Structure 1
């Protein structure tokens, strides 16, 4: 393990020295089917992507000690590692807290084991968070979403739903998204300038909730008309407003983070199936499982029968002795018979 740690440390040092200029992909206005369509890459993968892919393939071996290496990685590498961990179903509270960085603008924890504890912990450092995906998260409730809304003033995209528990959480968060005015008492308007007089998701613009119920949709349309629910791709945008690709449900939120990494990195192979041994012609027939349980019960009952009979005899003698000691007539008869026996 020490050798593995040194290799990871050397790899992290080499990654930190590489100056990476993120390649911004022009936002297309074509239909959504063209956003996530596979296409051949004309250029080879970057060296930093190849190194991250190698690290991601062996993520299970270092995931328990990931907190010891996070300080060596630059923020974009930590975000890529978190995306790979999510795809390999290794993302939980400990991994998220270890990798979280204040410079992140997107956070995709969809389908992970992250709970309220982990999300609330990192919410205080994500001051620049712009988009978050909590869909298919069974352990996240409205309490953690409230912390994200409170501590992330730049949040514009929220993705939720996808499973029964997440649908329930999304319905519980509808009231959190509505703007509210706080009741404050000050002597003059000048004193209110530095005080937060409003609450709610003030900067939220796009809500991706594929199976939103009609009641929640009507509430948001009436009280939060600024929030656009489930935007559809269009060459004209939405009322002239350009729709970001992160607001489309068919594109993973962290797709641009791992776009240059080999998909084999997060491919988890299933365990090889055992080959059943061929039946031998002279072997006795296999006993059904129900008959095995019945024979085991009969064997146990026969083994415990002597002990049970001995315990019953002890109880009978104890009952007879208690009767002779407590009943006056029985005691007199016993003493009389004892006297007659002596005489």
Structure 2
């Protein structure tokens, strides 16, 4: 294992890379974007695979057994054999709307999202078993519950004919399409994340708030109505830790803050400022994530810096991506590596032994 912050793998692309994924065993890394090629690379020893697609790759996910890859390719969804070859099936999802994300449920169904639609597809045939439409649009973010039974939606209503400054966070049952809970801040909701047990959802909104609410019924847990949520400036990205204890949220002031999931109280922030030193003017945080064991968090900012830090805010590394803004980020399943997608390349960063096992 290399020193924390070592770039272990660089995958060159022509154009932006907006979709990345590790295989369930962490041995392969897939990346795709504007250049109409899905690249699958071994993280270590193995054979690289390139698969040509028709358009702009916006989402990629490995199946639970690692044998298949679901791909969002402009307006269509494809299922590919992870070892290469032609698509097993492919087809449009919502004509006129690009597919923004794909993922698998634990039982192997494919969940795909456009700006206005959530679709549940059969892995064997690609048949759409359920359509869940969102009106008014736009779906800004989605998160799937760990058991694959529910989906959380961040809805931004600033689009469409009336351009309302409004939005909501919603929880929908995938089996029935029924809405189970809804929270409505004073502006668009930008990001959502489920607690590990699926009972609560954290969201951040364009009204400068981060809120926790019950998935069933939508009751807000924090902040209290008389509290002013002034901890995070313009929050735009959020993640729940796998143990259900903490959330991490990124804001425009350049900090990623770890908050207590029960109370919303800040535990730490990264990066740390030197006492008495002037504010260096960090770039806005655009992506956050927790390691699989919940002991570490990562952030990426608009000034092309990726940081790994512990739950005391201690920075374990800060890696610059050569002035290339990070467009997507994810941990490997074992937490030993961090994958990022940027303009014209994807990177796999080694976390060393700092992930804590």
TM-score using structure 2 length = 0.29
- Larger strand fraction of residues: 2
Q: Over alpha carbons, which structure has the higher Rg?
A: 1
